Structure 1
């Protein structure tokens, strides 16, 4: 197959950004770089979750990133997360948003009046008009305008190809004819998502009953952990909690993907026995919507019901909190009749709500702060926003937990280079998006899209900028001289072929040739390759001292 300068695996946020920024940077620097964008799905699917998400972004009115997010990351991860990576995202997020906006994506700037945000953005967040689909279509439209990019649909990435010293040299793929092909390139960006669509890996890393978790978007079936497995094969390190995953409460009646019921804080959530099981007011909405979903899946048979009253619905509807689903809530004039519509025990639900109402304190109900309006004597108590459910009509949604993305992934540095198990970059290998590990224990939200876009952008740009730069493995031009003495018998390997050598005691340095101890060799190697690194590629030598 043809030779490329870069192969990008995955066409979501990270992959599209890596591809487009490589193409644009090559054009800007007058380089003739070629890229292959490899996607296992069909061209009309826009695979993964990118096209389906609402893509909420933790940005203020000037598209500046929430400066407190890094502190939230450190807290919930208990110090495990890569803070240097978090700092890099904070520094680059605004540039990413401005870039996407410049490409033609229109942002909706939302001032939130009802939901207390933990974001330090002035009660503001941003999302693209048209959601994730608008971003993907925009980026792909620009990519398709370049003749030096081939998009390989219905092509499954199988294995990374490396040279005998471990540097990337390409990718093995399986095309829709069922046959394997090699694609040659010195650089690969892996951007093909986590392992949400791989039940074997979910069982291995996350645990039992993961097969009961529906996927929040149909494109996630293609996220089978291919990138992670390929990277592990070549010695990549890992990051993120592999038993962790991000889930959300979804309207189980919905006919559309990503039909999230966001407002669990503003009522109660009960299980199939009509029992509350989680403190719905423990913290802010975005700080708890993941954890209640995990609890429903883990310990309550995936059957939950959100219950509230007219006071809340008049405050929030219409709006994103309860209208992401395409279904109207169940509605009734009595709790008994609402339970019948939800197909749960009317007497049990009436008992739970009666006990909840009686346990609420008399503090003012204030949505714009953690108001301390709580219950007393319940198990569990509700810590904030415990407003009695008394005003008819009453409303309910049947909910279940859906899997959005997995936490565990490959370890990268702030340039999106994949790090080996001993934390050095694997030459030519990059990764971005949700296949890179970052999160531990919890996911501080409205950042996954931003980090995918940002590190995809950085990866594509870096590959293009370094395109054509010389390597000691590939060129002997612009050389500097290093002298080495032989402390033991030395085997010069294939990497020396073509590199100029001067040897007073040995006329020629030939690949795969042994030379006895006591000789010395002057190796002319290209800058800026430091002399101290040569012992890593030529064994048993040390700097010569005359």
Structure 2
């Protein structure tokens, strides 16, 4: 390969966005993917494909839609999601950290990046199934999240790959990059194993887009703590932290919160990793994130989070950690039949784990690993504490709360009184890690002195300093696309 061409390591959405952007600027691009063709696409293929971005009205959304003539649009209220609101949502999860340059760039470039994807044959659909409730005959979108890629995460990656190949990109599978090559402080290529055979590829520009370290049990223990050895990995088994290792070996500085991660409640009986062999529409089905319409009990039979703290977009990426830290890394999500229609489709798949009973007294005896006496007392106290005057309204934070409990539920507190009752066992799952390499808004990788490492760029989960102590749902794919596009443009510009 000519040294004036660009190498991209990884093949998820961020990598493909980087590839499309590089090709758009006239560069030649080769993508090296560790997995085989069946497993390409990184974590992106396991997502629901939702992308969070700032918009002022439906006028910003309509040009992005695959089907702008959908009859439901006439009775849909998308509201708005301003830059100010997006920044406020990020700041909420920063704790003491002020909004960073990377976060500001993410917000500012979110809508332009979605529009750019649209110009490259990537289309979107309103998230009617998971982000709306019907109220007064209208579909009300909630939580600042309105559109998903057609075909969810799998459809997003497949469409991006098709575009990457259409405009001249090349992808090679079974290529496990081992080392970044440098000379006089500048990137000169990579060393990799192709089907076990050691090879070298020359290039003056490399974009590292091969994910975080969530699939590496040893690194999870090192950075997140011992309990994370027990976490289920929601996505790919290939994100072992190799990109971070290679980048730091050539002087990259680290950035962000290495003790933080996107962690979701998952089916307790799921396999250790996600599964690409099931249809894409079911790949998210191990997640169990409708807890806000019920209660969660730990092995002691006690509640341990405010299930109604906020819309699930703002809590699900944190509550997985809360579950994982319970005794036996276990919790049970309990619902009555009043809310059955509100539960996401993953609660209704053929292999979803649950128990069922006609009374709470019977249900608690079926909760494996749970103190039944305390569980029943907790549920009875919960029922007795609910404000019955405030109406239940899933389209807003309705303030229908409990009163007088050691841990109150602040919204969507319904009495559990309508059989059959169902309980779903969950544990903590990890989606991606927050710590990464330090980059600027041009996606150039920086050294400890803040200088750009010539020819080295990063995007996707490799980037640290975008998320710290939490995550508003849908921001991850958007961040990958924003910094992927930036990396592709910057690498092409660097090569001239």
> Residues 53-98 of structure 1: CA distance to partner in whole angstroms, max 9, x if unpaired?
1021224542486421212222321342552222222222222222
> Residues 448-501 of structure 1: CA distance to partner in whole angstroms, max 9, x if unpaired?
001101211121122223433xxxxxxxxxxxxxxxxxxxxxxxxxxxxxxxxx
Q: What's the offset of the Cα at 1:2?
A: 5.5
What stretches of structure 1 of length at least 5 have no aligned partner?
27-32, 469-546
The one of 148, 152, 155 equivalent to 2:175 is 155
The one of 437, 449, 457 equivalent to 1:430 is 457
Change (3 A) 1:156 1:321: closer
Match status 1:338 vs 2:379: no
Contact 2:438/2:445 (CA < 8 Å) preserved in 1?
Answer: yes
Q: What's the offset of the Cα at 1:346?
A: 4.5
Aligned partner of 1:210 in structure 2 is: 228
Change (3 A) 1:65 1:42: farther
Contact 1:66/1:120 (CA < 8 Å) preserved in 2?
Answer: no
The 2-side partners of 1:242 and 1:295 are apart by 17
The one of 263, 266, 280 equivalent to 1:247 is 263
The 1-side partners of 2:107 and 2:134 are apart by 24
Aligned partner of 1:492 in structure 2 is: none
SS of residue paired to 2:52: coil
Contact 2:10/2:210 (CA < 8 Å) preserved in 1?
Answer: yes
SS of residue paired to 2:97: coil
Aligned partner of 1:383 in structure 2 is: 410
Aligned partner of 1:306 in structure 2 is: 333
The higher relative CO (CA closer than 8 Å, separation ≥ 6) is in 2
Q: What's the offset of the Cα at 1:283?
A: 2.6
The 2-side partners of 1:385 and 1:122 are apart by 15
Change (3 A) 1:46 1:357: same
Contact 1:430/1:459 (CA < 8 Å) preserved in 2?
Answer: yes
The 2-side partners of 1:115 and 1:326 are apart by 28
Q: Which has the larger radius of gyration?
A: 1
Q: Equivalent residues in 2 for 1:126-525 (5 A)?
A: 126-147=147-168, 149-164=169-184, 166-179=185-198, 181-217=199-235, 219=236, 221-253=237-269, 257-258=283-284, 259-314=286-341, 316=342, 319=344, 322=347, 327=352, 330-343=355-368, 344=370, 346-364=372-390, 365-437=392-464, 438-468=466-496
Aligned partner of 1:40 in structure 2 is: 34
> Residues 414-468 of structure 1: CA distance to partner in whole angstroms, max 9, x if unpaired?
1111111111211111100011112212122211001101211121122223433
Q: What's the offset of the Cα at 1:177?
A: 2.5
Contact 2:268/2:330 (CA < 8 Å) preserved in 1?
Answer: no
Change (3 A) 1:279 1:204: same
Q: What's the offset of the Cα at 1:135?
A: 1.2
The 1-side partners of 2:354 and 2:227 are apart by 29
The 1-side partners of 2:96 and 2:405 are apart by 33
The 2-side partners of 1:25 and 1:12 are apart by 20
Q: Equivalent residues in 2 for 1:47-126 (5 A)?
A: 47-59=41-53, 61=58, 62-63=60-61, 66-67=82-83, 68-80=85-97, 83-110=100-127, 112-114=131-133, 125-126=146-147
TM-score by length of 2: 0.84
Change (3 A) 1:106 1:324: farther
Change (3 A) 1:123 1:96: closer
Q: What's the offset of the Cα at 1:16?
A: 0.8
Q: What's the offset of the Cα at 1:323?
A: 5.3
SS of residue paired to 2:453: strand
> Residues 208-233 of structure 1: CA distance to partner in whole angstroms, max 9, x if unpaired?
1221111002x2x1111111111111
CA RMSD of aligned residues (A): 2.6
Aligned length: 453
Q: Which structure has more helix as a fraction of its residues?
A: 2
Contact 2:145/2:474 (CA < 8 Å) preserved in 1?
Answer: no
Aligned partner of 2:7 in structure 1 is: 7
The 1-side partners of 2:143 and 2:252 are apart by 40
Contact 2:438/2:463 (CA < 8 Å) preserved in 1?
Answer: yes
The 2-side partners of 1:361 and 1:133 are apart by 43
SS of residue paired to 1:301: helix
Change (3 A) 1:110 1:144: closer
Change (3 A) 1:171 1:422: same
Change (3 A) 1:160 1:82: farther
SS of residue paired to 1:99: helix
Change (3 A) 1:268 1:127: same
Contact 1:81/1:440 (CA < 8 Å) preserved in 2?
Answer: no
SS of residue paired to 2:380: helix
TM-score by length of 1: 0.77
SS of residue paired to 1:7: strand
Contact 2:17/2:481 (CA < 8 Å) preserved in 1?
Answer: yes
Change (3 A) 1:241 1:69: same
Aligned partner of 2:18 in structure 1 is: 18
Change (3 A) 1:92 1:389: same
The 2-side partners of 1:51 and 1:455 are apart by 18
> Residues 323-361 of structure 1: CA distance to partner in whole angstroms, max 9, x if unpaired?
588638543321233334443554443222111111223
Contact 2:45/2:157 (CA < 8 Å) preserved in 1?
Answer: yes
Q: What's the offset of the Cα at 1:276?
A: 1.1
Contact 2:446/2:453 (CA < 8 Å) preserved in 1?
Answer: yes
Change (3 A) 1:391 1:198: same
